[in-house]
Structures are given as C-alpha cells and as structure tokens.
Structure 1
C-alpha cells in the first residue's frame, strides 16, 4: 500500500518538476508593434505549455478586456484584432495551462509605430459608391470624329487622327467596405465607422475608439493633467477631469479626498483646476448617475510633490541652488549646463557671468555649456562664419582651416593635385563616373525617401492635432508641412532676443530667392512631447491663416509666417517686429506720465492697436481657431506701427513669466482667463473676447498688472470664486465710462452675450465717440 502511494505521489509531482524547465527561447515579457497583423504569433505553444503531451486546452483568465489576443488550439498566443498604442500600450495576460494549478503571466508591450494608424483626412474624402462596382473613377471623353470614307463604314468608337483630348475624371468612390485606388482592399472599420477611400483610415462613431473602432470607450474615466505624477507639485495648477461616454447623464460629480463634492447636471465632462497642496494627496472619485439611476464611478490617486527649490519629506528644506536651479525632493539641486553642485561655472574654456551663470563661449563652440562644436559648415565666434572648404573637405570649427581629401589640395581644397604616376585623365574619368552615380542616387533619394519622410511626419502631426483640435487638423491642406519647409543652411543665426522655459527667440537672417531678410526664429529648447506639440500647433495655426483664400499678409494683423524648419533643429520663422511687444510699448509711455493718469490723445493713439487686435480675432474666428492667450505681451508692433497678434503657444513665457501660473508643461495666464475656462479647461472664441477686455484694461493703465482687489496673485480657486461673485477688474483712473463699459461687456458671465470681434472693431474705430459706447451696449 505504501509503495502505491509513493508511486502516485511521484506521478503527481513529476509534471510540476518538469514544468520548471522551459525552452531557452521562451520569454514572457514581449513587445509587439501596434501595426502587427492579426495572426502574428506573440508567444509560441512550447513556451506556454511545459507538458509536452498535455491535451488539456489553454485558457485566458484575465488581462485582455478588448479581445486583442487569441489562444490557438496549439496553445500559442497570437494577435486577434488590430492593436492601438494610443488606446492601450500594455497588457498583462494570465493564461491557465492544463490543470488549474499552472498559470502563466505574459506581459506584452505594444510599441508605437510612426505614421500608424493612418490619418482620416476629410479634406481628401471621396464619396461612397452604393454599387458593387470597383471602378474608382469614371472617365468622360468628348466625342471625337474623323473623315467619313465611302468604302468604310464609320465606327463611332474608333478614334481617327487624334492629337489631343480633354478627359474629365469624375470620382465615383469605393463601395462600402472597400478602399484603395482600385477599391480592391477590405476596410477593417466596425460599429458604423466611416472608411477613408484612399488609405482605409477609420472615422469612429461616438463612443468607440481604436484603429478599427472596435474598442468601446469606458463609460466613465478619471484623468489628471499633468499625467506625470512627478510633475505635480505644491502651488502648481492641476486639472482633474471626469468624462463619461455612451450614457445619458443626469448628474456628474467629483469627490475630493476631504469628502467635499462638486456636482454638475446634464454634462458629460467636468474639469476642475486648482493649486495643489500636500494635503490634496489621495483618491479623487468621479461618479456619474444616468437617467435610469445607474451609478458609475472611476478613481484616480493624486501624489503632490514639493514645489521648486524645496526638498525633504515635508518640503520644509530649502535647496541651496543658484539662479533658481531645479530642485529634486530627495536629491537636492539639479544643475543646468554650465553649473556644478559647488556653484562653479563650467563653460569649457569660455567665460561665465557671475550674476546669472550664463556662458560666453569661445570661438568654435556654442550651447548653454559651450560644449557643442559649431555645426558642419560653420566656425568662429558664435558659429557665424561660413566655411569655404570644398570637395568634401573637413572644416575646423574654431579657425575654419580645411583638411582636404585626396587628390584635392590648396587652402580651400579646390586645387586638383596629380602625381607623376597618374595623369589628369586617369583621375577625372573615374571621378566623373562616381560623381554621376552620386548625383543619381541623391536625386532618387530626394524624390522618394525625403518626400516620404516629410509625408510621414505630416501624418504624425495631423494625428496628434486631431486628438486635441479636430477643427484645426481638418483645416490643413495636404502637403502643408512640405510647402513651408525651409533649409537650415539658409538660416544665419544672430543674437538671442527672447528666452523662456520652453523655447528661445533669436534674430536671424533668412536667405530667400529675393535676397536676405531679417526674421525672428522661435525654436524648441526643451525636448519633450509637449514642447513639440505646441511647436506644431503654432505652425499649423499660422499655415491655416496664411493659406486662407484671399489672405493678404501685408494687411493681416496676425504675425506673418515665413517658413518652418523641422530637420534636426526646429524653427518657426516669423516676421521681425522691430518695436517689440505692446506691453513694453505701454511701459515706455508710462515713463514720464503721472501715475494713474492717461491723456485722451494718448489713449486714442493706443486704441489703434486694440482695433488691430480685434481684426486679428476676427480672422481667427472665421477659421474657428482659438488663440487662448490674448494679452499685451503677445501683441507685436511692426516698424510701420501696426499691431500683430502673435504667440500661439510655443514660448509664451519668452516675454515674461510673471503673468503665468506654472504647471509641469504649461503656463496658465490665469488673470486673463474667463470663468468657464478656469472651471472646465475649455477655450472658445468668446473666451478670447474676455481676454481682449483685459487687454483693453492694460492699455488704459499703460501696462499695469491686472489686480482683483487685494489679490495681487490669486490662485485658481480664489480667482474662480471672485469671478463667480460678479467681481471684475476696477475702472482705471481717467478711463472713459464708455471704454470701461466695453470692457465689462467682454467680461459678461454668459459667453453668448459678449460682443464679437467685428462688433469690437466697429466700436473702437471711432475713438472720438468712445464716451457713447456705453449707450450702445
């Protein structure tokens, strides 16, 4: 009896012991590109099943809520449905193999593929052909005739002596479920999604997401901005967003860790913006109740860190960092280029300013720490000199001396030197052949690879814009990025004229077919996704404005776009406004003026700038574009004394950072924001009108900082409470009643009651009648 029990025990533990040895090629941490086709194997059967003779099936137990993966009869894990990195990038799937005691856990990382999924561009949309015909285009050819011969009957389908003909192509579209030039490819779109006739991209119906629109959006979701918990710190603005899908909402509420609740009726989205404090740590619960009384909830946990220049468990220790250097809560100072933890400058041989620590580089070097040699083709102080080396010679970044490649010589490597063993003909023949081959290869690469790369980049930008601003993405005409692209070698950098946390502005010279022109070049200095997103948003807005039909750049009151550079470094090339920004102009007028007094003649002169800004807002409103930051600091004055609206989001702290409340990747112009923008985080043309009213207040005070009573720097909840009570900026001393009435009209609580840009321009074009504006309201 004992021997039988021993044999039974050994037979029972043998499968477990044998399962500990897996094939060497097995891995349960795998990565799959998001464009992997259905049927692609993720983990093979030999890895999942350690029982070679096991006939029991493999079963997924959890980790795949959308059915993206499938287990075959052979126990192999394969892709079953289209993946989408933007919807879900990680899966942890648990699989039961054989008996219930053996469970495998597979971690799958979905990788982002540039240019995928394809972008649905409504600008290039084709009609749907209700028939089953696969003909994409219908050709309409005019009737063509020829001489009639008696010995041959005329054939109307035969073309006789044709030299030219006009052919009209009438797009017929593809049948439902088909796409491609020949309509021979099958669409994957589901749940009523529209399939694009050219590239098969899906336009999802409300409540669906994913490449094939087969993943339902969650009934309720809770998110926070910034999504990176490390970037949320004390006094920073944090947005908690509650959003519901696919349900008829009765009430939507957000519960705070302290048990307080904010409730809204009949809305599907609730955004709450507040200044974070350490006591704000904890769970935030979004709760929705539908019309039938069903309750849905989602929770997100907030982790608030120390503010800048503070450290320690309670954030009660100061970082001993110079010039506002970043401070980590646990490690202390995070030194920028040019500094070390001992407060000494390291400028690679250059001089260091004792006041702000900025490096003045020696010849041949550039960058914030002077460790970047001049780019190829440039040398000398500030890399301003152009190398004269020819024939693929190497140019020294300090003195510009050329290192020639055989058989070239001379100072500029432009002298062909022939040895006694080789004649000139013997060198030139193979050299010319090589040059010809190189030219052909470069032309082919330029025509194919370069344009394809630019198209892929444009598609990626469109996909990012579509996620946040659908109207802007739809307004862009295909090929916009390629049409405005300039070459980096045509830009000669000059002096730095503006510097902010996220971007710089330099005065530069741009070489054009008509000669060199002075431009203001805005560039991304902080390499992160948000900075690049703001760069392309500003570029896209200016392209849409400038490509508008009948747009006249000489009469427009929006800053002129002159080009875009995206290769290696990124630049927005804008017209150079010599007189600077309006806020600086207002401050110059304040010098010598008695405090609080505004001369009527001076006010009439300055209101011309307000008229120009109103016209710019009118241009944006017609294109359904929102500026989001209308203020005197973002209005530039040209040499012709014309005001131009600028700064659509790239470096809005370039001119001043004192007027913004900082977040991890954003700067919030709080005192210029309307109440609905503070509460919901949404911006409209009507919210731009509110900001325009604050700009009028700046003009009337000659550039004073807006102040609500004794709250010089209110936080988000304080300002929201002030505006909700109907409190507005006070009437500036000496400001006419009519002008202040116009400001109050811009600050009305109901956005629909605020005047539009055309009405603002109409009221401001007659400065002598400004006292009567109040009666017009």
Structure 2
C-alpha cells in the first residue's frame, strides 16, 4: 500500500527518507521550540489489523526519542534568540551573552582588531576523540606576521636534549600529519616563528592518544574485535567474554556445554570447574555442602547419616533423628541428653527447674533493683544478647525451606535458590546466602553477620524499602546459617544491562528512560541508607538486582565480594588481614585514608551511573591498566583522570555523573539531590510512585 497521498508535503519531499518496506509512518512537526534543554517525545498507540472487515488482532506500540536543542541560529543570540551578533571575521557568537570567540589573528569585542600571533590548529578539532590509528593534522597558522622562518620541533621527553626539529622554512602556514597516529607520536609539538622584523612567536600542542577506536584492538589498534554476546573489546586481549556461562571463542560467538553456571575458557571452551564441581562439563557437585548428596546435591542425607557427603554416622539413641548438617541429636518429647539417652521422671524435672530458676530470679531482682536505685536510667548500647533477640524475630525453621539449585558462588560463600513456606501458607522464591563451610574465616563470618544485622535494621518495620532487597528471614540455629532475601528473576543489574546492549544492537532502542529509572531507584535506596546512617561501601551494578517488576534494588551488604566471581576486586592487606576491595569504584578518600561515608557511596554511585550509561561495560581509566593497584588508581584520580563520557550518553546525564567524582566530599550531590534529578527525568515512574 502507498501512503504518499496522505502525508504532508514536507514529509514527501527529498529531506525525509524512509525505506520502501515502511508501511506505516507517523510524522510529528514542531513549528516553534522554546526550550534550552533536551527533552523526550513519546509516541504510542494501537495498530489494528483488519482483513475483509474482520479484526485479526490489535498490536500496541510505543517509541521514545530524545530531542536536543543545539542553540540559536547563526548570527543570533539570547534566551529567545532575538538579539543580533556583532562578531566579525568569522568569529563565533555565544548563544546566551553574545560574546565573540575570535579566530586566530583577531582581537577586540567584535573580533575586528588585527593581532599578530601563532596558533596551532588541530584537525579534527577538540570536539572529536582522538584514537590510535586515526589521522590527525596539526597546522601552524601565523596571521598578520611577515614570516622569515617557521620551525616545527618535537619534544618527546622532559629534557631539552630530547627536542628535535621536524621541518622549517619561510612559509606563512605549515602542517604536519600523522597518518595514522601511534603512541610513539605522543609528545609536545612546538611551532616557532621568526618575523622579518626580528620578533619571535611560538605555540605548543600536546598530542596524547592512548585508546583504540571502538571495536578495535592490537598494538597499533588495527585488528577488529566484533565481539558478540556481550563481550567487551580490550586493547591487548581482544574480546573479553562476559562471565556468562557457555560463551567463549575469539569474538565470544561460540557456546560451550558447561553446567551449574560454571565458566568456560575464553579460547578453547573447556569448562573451568570450581572446587565444588567436577566432571568434563562441571555436571557434578563434589563435595556437596554438609547435609546433602547426589550428582547435583539435590538430596538430604538419609536418616542416621550427616556431614560432608553424608559420610558420618549418627550417635543418637532411642531412635532419635540427627541434624543432617552437624549431626546434633533432635530429641523427641520426653527425651534429653546429648544423645537423647535420658528419659527423666516428670516430677524430677519440675523440682530441678524450680530449684534452679527461683534462686536465679531472686538474684536478678536484687541486681536490677540496686542498679535502678543507684543510677539514672539511660539507653543501653546494643549487646550481643540484644542482637540475638532481634534476629530471633526473623528466625526461620529449616524445614520450611526447600532448596533447589545454586545460582551464585565465590571464594567464601554461595547463594542457592529456594522456596520458603511463609506463615500465610504459600511459598515464595528466595535466594539463600551462606558462608562456605571450607572457608569459614573470621572476616567471612564477620561480613555475613554484618549483612544480616544491616538487613534486619533496614526492615525494622518488616516492610523495608522498595529499593532495597527484601529480607524474608534468617537461619542461625543450625549450620550452615542462611540469609533469606527475595529472588530477583532478572539477576543483577550488570547482567541485565548486557542483555539490553544486545537488544540495542538489534532494535536500535537504547531504553534510555528505563535505565534512567534504574538510576532513580538506586538513588532512592541510597537515600534510605543515608537516613539510617548506613554506609554500603560497594555500590556497583553487580550489587544491584532487578526485580520481576523492573525495579532496581540495592543488595549485598557484606558478602558481595565473596558471592560473585569478579575481576572488579583487588586483594589488599589491611592491618595484617587480607581484604578484597573494588578499587575502580572507590572514592579518593577511601583509597587514600580508608574512610567510608555516605559521600564515598555517592562517588561509587557515579561509577554505577557510568555502568548504566555504557550498558554494563567494566570501567577503564584512560592512561591506566585494566586492573590497577591502589597506588596506580590513586595517582590517576589525583591527576584528574576520570571515566570518559560513554557513547550515546547525553551530556546532561554525564554532568551528573562527573559531579559525583568531585574530590571534596562536601561538594558532591547528596542522595536526595540525585534522586530528585533522575526522578524528574522519568515522568512515568514518578507518576507511578505518586499513585
């Protein structure tokens, strides 16, 4: 069908292009724009397909685009572009105040005064990113000077003896070209001009190209990556496949058959099993966690056995059962003793209990009354007993959980998906986190307990916060201990961003509004943590989960660096104890002094925003290695090096990102300010939140 007769003339002319296969066109005309900032337009509706008067189906559609206002027309300036510029000789006019940006050789308010000077112009200009392997031309311009001699010199090092003359002659303009540019070309280039009247002029330019063009790698950046399945292009390694099970090959295009979320080697595809897995495809769990057995550790130990691989025999008597994990005897009613061997007389029990309890109550009463009379009351600091009492209200019985399969693991802990039977009578999907029995170090247990107590504190009212992962309960009265949180069907944000990147390659839809909505969600969670004076210390995309309702929630308050196998953490030694730190997400003060505050969380949030804008790429600082140590990272930040603006990231968003990386913590935006800014950018989510 042809729509040409139904379209306005401005759509049908040569300026508007569409494919022959396009059967439906929606044209929007903006006659006047009174805005100085970018805005979004959303077009949505329903397409009904009719054949012979019969409706086959109705298909909803939606398309969102960003419209960026670039400024006033040439020769005009002002808020409403209603003032005329006075700039001359090709000078540019500032869009708001009309100030003139003079070209080389001109000065004055209107750039109408000749001025002898030497300037080095770069082609392409400053607005373009310079990559290794691209062409760059430097031109020495000497307007209003009668040139007697023009000399180009290159200073490759810091010493004067390293300076060498490239070319010289009596010319008005001279250019040197790099086709293509290499790292060996980097250095300071100077143009020195001697006028006929003996005056001397000079100008300098520093060439510093460090990165390959996108999708290229190699020493001279001449090899194409063409990574697939979310792989990222590294200059020296080529395609770095994401830590997604089953992906390998030179450009991450091949699939391997590793099971149980095991990784495969990038080149050959052979499976890389962890300590718990065995077999060619890592199909077997060995050894299973205490209390389980089977190829996939899917079975509890049989009655009368317990421990690793169910290899130990119970010692319980009187037909009492034992805990499959630690072998402790579970006595029936009327039984007692370590092995349930005693069946005491009921009267004896009453006498013993009363004889022991009554004196204890009397002693406690005396102590309490003495304390109350001798000192005024004041709130006590939380004790170990009070923490246990708080956790007891979240205690879940082990038999109310049905474990399914492992969904995450690391050096110190693992996460298992399970189903929890709640008091209402139905089951909910949960992620059960625990510390590995063979890596029960003091730091691992400390982080595990820290996460447990923080989640309980956040959920004081049992409801928690919509942008913090929901706590369902804890298991502390048996081993292994577990933290039970909501199961996120869309996994962590980093993996979800990878999937969006693949969709973007196919559909061209970047889903910018959805990603900005995630930014608002995390800022809302940070605001709640700041209210409770809780510092997370590891705000990153890998530690944020996406719920089935597409809501981002902060997670991992202590075990994040144990549960996930990641190259984002570097080993350091803090006070004689080894610790894993996310260096590229840490603020200057955290790297330098070990200081962690709500402001340092804002710095990490800025890196998370960069991850969101780049579809989950791993941060890479220009001029530094992919995995810097503490000293290298700190030196880069002190020099002012920051993560560069991702491709297709609006400048308005990148300015917010950069504001999170201000060295002075007091000058960074607060979590509340960040939430307000992103909340205003996502009107749909704001409306849903208000309703």
TM range (shorter): 0.3 to 0.5
Specify which structure has the bigger relative contact order, considering alpha-carbon pairs within 8 angstroms and separated by 6 or more residues. Answer: 1
TM-score normalised to structure 2 length: 0.46
TM-score normalised to structure 1 length: 0.41
